[in-house]
A and B are shown apart, each in its own frame.
Chain A
Amino acid sequence: MFSTNPFAELSASIPPAVMQTYVVVMIVLVAAGTLFDIVHKGSAKYFFDNWRKSKSKGAQQVDGGELLSLAVQTGLVDVLASGEFCNARRRVAHLLTMYGFVIYVVTTAVMVFGYPTPATPTPAILPQLWWLGGLMACVGGYWFWFFIRVDVAAEGNSPFRFVRADLFIVSLVGSVTLGLIWAAAGAGAGVLFGLYILATTVLFGSVPWSKFAHMFFKPAAAFEKRVSYANGTRSNLPGPADKPEQFGSAREAPRHY
Chain B
Amino acid sequence: MPTFVYMTRCDGCGHCVDICPSDIMHIDRTYRRAYNIEPNMCWECYSCVKACPQNAIDCRGYADFAPLGHSVRVLREEAKATISWKLKFRDGREKNFVSPIRTTPWGSIKGPGEYAAPSPADFAKQELAHEPDALNIEGGLPALRPDQLKQGVV
Which residue numbers of A lie inside 8 Å of B, CB to CB?
A: 43, 46, 84-87, 90, 149-151, 153-155, 163-166, 211, 217, 221, 225, 235-241, 243-244, 247-257
Contacts and interface: CB of A to CB of B under 8 A. Distances in A.
Interface string B98-122: 1111111110000000000000000
B8 interface: yes
Contacts of B74: 238
Contact of B27 (A151, A248, A256, A257): A151
B78 A244 contact: no
A226 to B, nearest CB: 13
Contacts of B26: 155
A154 B73 CA distance: 25
Contacts of A254: 78-79
B84 A239 contact: yes
Contacts of A235: 6, 55, 73
Interface of B: 6, 8-9, 11-15, 17-18, 26-32, 53-55, 71, 73-75, 77-82, 84-86, 88, 96, 98-106
B8 A164 contact: no
B54 A84 contact: yes
Contact of A237 (B12, B30, B55, B103): B55
Contacts of A154: 13-15, 17-18, 27
A37 to B, nearest CB: 12
A84 B77 CA distance: 17
A250 B55 CA distance: 24
A41 to B, nearest CB: 10
Main secondary structure on A side of the interface with B? loop
Given A46-B8, A90-B13, A163-B29, A243 B105 contact: no
Contacts of B13: 85-87, 90, 150, 154, 257
Nearest to A169: B32
A251 B81 CA distance: 6
25 contacts: A43-B8, A85-B13, A150-B13, A154-B14, A154-B17, A154-B18, A163-B29, A165-B28, A165-B32, A236-B71, A236-B73, A238-B84, A238-B86, A239-B84, A239-B96, A244-B77, A244-B100, A247-B82, A249-B100, A249-B102, A251-B81, A256-B15, A256-B53, A257-B13, A257-B14
A164 B30 contact: yes
Contacts of A221: 8-9
Contacts of A84: 11, 54
In this complex, the member of A46, A154, A250 whose beta carbon has the largest number of chain B beta carbons within 10 angstroms is A154
Contacts of A149: 32
A101 B4 CA distance: 33
A238 B106 contact: no
A156 B90 CA distance: 41
Contacts of A240: 75, 77, 80, 84
